[in-house]
Each structure stands twice: as structure tokens, then as C-alpha cells.
Amino acid sequence: MRTIYLRKETNDGFRKVLLDMAFLASHKIIRFPQYLFEEGLYFSFKSKGSDNIEKYYLTKDKIVKQDQNFYFFKFPFKGDEVEEYSN
């Protein structure tokens, strides 16, 4: 699986946050540190059956479980459906 970044739009443009790709590749779940979580984090993906690009936001209602340090989110996509970021 290739590298996937979350994006966060800011007043100065955007910033990106690397996902834990080793965990995602082996468990098919996003593991994200609680101290880095904030509203507005997303990645872009191509919707199935079309070339439209949509944003998938990580929100608290999408948390499937959590532990002391991490939130865990479903990853309902194939790796090649998620857009890459070069910036």
C-alpha cells in the first residue's frame, strides 16, 4: 500500500499528516494518535463508479474504538481509491 496523508485546511493553505501505514496495511483500520486529532482532517478519494473526487473526514462519530493513546477508524476504501498528495 502506498503512503496516505490526511490534510487539514488552514488559513495559510493546508498541512498534511502521515497515517500509520504499517498498521493500516496489516489491519485495514486507521490508527491515529489522540494528541494529533482535530476536526477537519480528511483525505480525498475517488467515488466508486465515477471519477468524482470526494473528501472523507475523520470525525469522532467514525471512531470504531479507542485506547489510551489512539483512535481507530474504519478504512472503507482500497488503497488505490485514495488520492496521493505531492505537496
For the chain, what are the domain ranges?
Answer: 5-81
What's this model's pTM, rounded to 2 decimal places?
0.83
5-58 per-position pLDDT tens digit: 899 988 888 888 989 989 998 999 999 999 999 999 998 888 777 778 889 999
List the grid coordinates of 27: 489491519
Which tens digits make up the pLDDT trace of 45-59? 887 777 788 899 999
DSSP-derived secondary structure for 22-82: HHHHHHSEEEEEGGG--TT-EEEEEPTTS--EEEEE--GGGEEEE-SSEEEEE--S-GGGB
